[in-house]
Amino acid sequence: MKKRLLTALVGVSIAVAWMFTAYTPAYAVIMAVVAAIGVYEMLKVFGVKNKVFFALCEIVGISVVLYADYKDKLSLPMFPVITAIVLVSLIIMVSDFKNLKFEQVVCSLFSALLIPAALSTVVLFRDVYKTFPTVFGNQADGIFLILFAFFCCWITDGCALFAGKALGKHKLAPNISPNKTVEGAIGGVLGNIVFCIALWLVFKYKFNLSSYINLIWVIASAVALSVISMFGDLAASTIKRHHGIKDFGNLLPGHGGVMDRFDSSIFVFSALYAEVAVMGYIIGG
């Protein structure tokens, strides 16, 4: 537990420092590195040994995040690009059919696109005041949404851990993750609501949040995203169960790998941006 808490403290410190790079090129580059490590861990889990295909997936993962930062300066036809990536992958599979299976190609490409696409939303959140100016017209809105997303992942997980240890009696999903309990899940949701309200109060009265980010929206979204976060964690646990591993990696002492820390983020970031985009298009017109 001490190692886990120490790693979490270091991680939070790094995350805070990273936030200060929000309007510099380093912001997306750092997240691209995180995505690349996540893709690397998943390819290892899938047993990919073909170096050319491995490199292709890493390049795709990094490019997706960087594209989110430079999408206004680049005009790429995404369907042909994705088609080309799939075709090249299949060519590599055919050329190395003894070592590279179709299932590995599908799972690897899925990871190489999904993980960085989800993580790249931190760039999209940052620029939300430009994308949907009539709804999120303040730069502080984007920073709030980024922190809100992280809270719904990490605060939910932390509160669920402590609540589960203190009060846990009823197993949540014993066949997937035996340590998770219903009481822990409830504690995770309630704890996240409290912290998200505190975050909202700070931004509302110190940074003049847009009126559409109100208390009802924060509470409702915090509840929904906490549930999604726990579902994402269970989905990641299912993948680990299927492949007979405890952690995706060992980069983070007490936590495992990058994907062990960002597994729920993939779901939460994507869901929150979908919600924000819907609000932007409907309310903004």
Residues 99 and 141 in one domain: no
Task: Give me the mean pLDDT over the 241-270 stretch.
Answer: 87
**What is the number of domains present in the chain?**
2
Please give the pLDDT value at position 225.
Answer: 97
Residues 58 and 160 in one domain: no
In a domain, 127, yes or no: no
Task: Give me the mean pLDDT over the 134-146 stretch.
Answer: 94
In a domain, 124, yes or no: no
Residues 18 and 141 in one domain: no
Residues 140 and 108 in one domain: no
Please give the pLDDT value at position 109.
Answer: 96
Task: Give me the mean pLDDT over the 168-186 stretch.
Answer: 92
Mean predicted lDDT score pLDDT of the chain = 92
Residues 139 and 104 in one domain: no
| pLDDT higher than threshold 90 for residue 108 | yes
Residues 113 and 155 in one domain: no
| pLDDT higher than threshold 70 for residue 2 | no
Examine the fold and report which residue of 119, 148, 172 is the final residue of a domain before the chain moves on. Answer: 119
Examine the fold and report which residue of 50, 84, 119 is the final residue of a domain before the chain moves on. Answer: 119
For residues 261 and 152, which has the higher predicted lDDT (pLDDT)?
A: 152
Residues 159 and 73 in one domain: no
In a domain, 41, yes or no: yes
Residue 253 pLDDT level (bands cut at 50, 70, 90): confident
| pLDDT higher than threshold 70 for residue 222 | yes
Please give the pLDDT value at position 213.
Answer: 96
In a domain, 128, yes or no: no
In a domain, 153, yes or no: yes
Residues 112 and 144 in one domain: no
In a domain, 24, yes or no: yes
Expressed as residue numbers, the domain containing 12 is 1-119
Residues 140 and 111 in one domain: no
Residues 173 and 243 in one domain: yes
In a domain, 126, yes or no: no
In a domain, 125, yes or no: no
Cβ neighbors of 237 (< 8 A, separation 6 or more) are 173, 176, 177
| pLDDT higher than threshold 70 for residue 1 | no
Residues 155 and 279 in one domain: yes
Please give the pLDDT value at position 83.
Answer: 93
Please give the pLDDT value at position 26.
Answer: 94
pLDDT digits (tens, 9 = 90+) for 35-79: 999 999 999 999 999 999 999 999 999 999 999 998 877 777 778
Instruction: Enter the pTM of the model.
Output: 0.92
Residues 99 and 208 in one domain: no
Examine the fold and report which residue of 119, 145, 161 is the final residue of a domain before the chain moves on. Answer: 119
